A and B are shown apart, each in its own frame.
Chain A
Amino acid sequence: DQQVKQNSPSLSVQEGRISILNCDYTNSMFDYFLWYKKYPAEGPTFLISISSIKDKNEDGRFTVFLNKSAKHLSLHIVPSQPGDSAVYFCAASSWGKLIFGQGTELSVKP
């Protein structure tokens, strides 16, 4: 039973354009949502997070949007850069327990 789902295994965008990565969850008890980025042969690294009491959090080129009624969140990267090419994992947290999705591999083409 996948509580956190990323339905797009891959996404390809042109440099300078917007990348939108999506994530759905099923458990309404989650109170924090996080995005992690992973390069090959490395561990995931924290990117950005959002509390369930907010609907938007922005950090430079990265913005996370949360739609609680739809149990959906998205990560926007604007503008996308080739160095953003990586696997992005969505995670949801309840009492400090983090559940991750399957990941979306983003490829940003020059």
Chain B
Amino acid sequence: DARVTQTPRHKVTEMGQEVTMRCQPILGHNTVFWYRQTMMQGLELLAYFRNRAPLDDSGMPKDRFSAEMPDATLATLKIQPSEPRDSAVYFCASGGGEGFGSGNTIYFGEGSWLTVV
């Protein structure tokens, strides 16, 4: 049963601490997205990668957020330093592979629930 796996599922941290969220996309998928769910913005696109290369990270606060794909099976989203306003659910999604485009659906993980106190 192929699925997108995210860790941790829940994280409570103190303001100023570094937070790293990890995502394992579905095997063979070459496009990976990071979204943040908030009440006001809904599902907000933070960044996305194709074939491990970042295509768009304009939705991400550059001063404290960073996203990488060290290899095809791992995507990371890091917040340093974390702030209370970063509290949200962070979703990873993947789609693919060759020829992936607008008509293709993407598959979401179960999310990482982050609380910064």
A-B contact count (CB 8 A): 64
Contact with B along A31-46 (1 / 0, CB 8 A): 1101010000111111
Q: What's the Cα separation between A52 and B8 when bound, in Å? A: 37
**B43, B102, B110: the one within 8 Å of A32 (CB):** B102
How many residues does chain B have at the interface if contact means C-beta atoms less than 8 Å apart? Answer: 29
Report B-chain residues with C-beta under 8 Å of the C-beta of A102: 40-42
How many residues does chain A have at the interface if contact means C-beta atoms less than 8 Å apart? Answer: 28
**Hey, which bits of chain B sit against chain A, CB under 8 A?**
4, 31, 33, 35, 40-45, 48, 50, 55-56, 91, 93, 95, 100-111
Inter-chain contact B105/A49, CB cutoff 8 Å: yes
**Hey, which bits of chain A sit against chain B, CB under 8 A?**
2, 6, 30-32, 34, 36, 41-46, 49, 51, 89, 91, 93-103
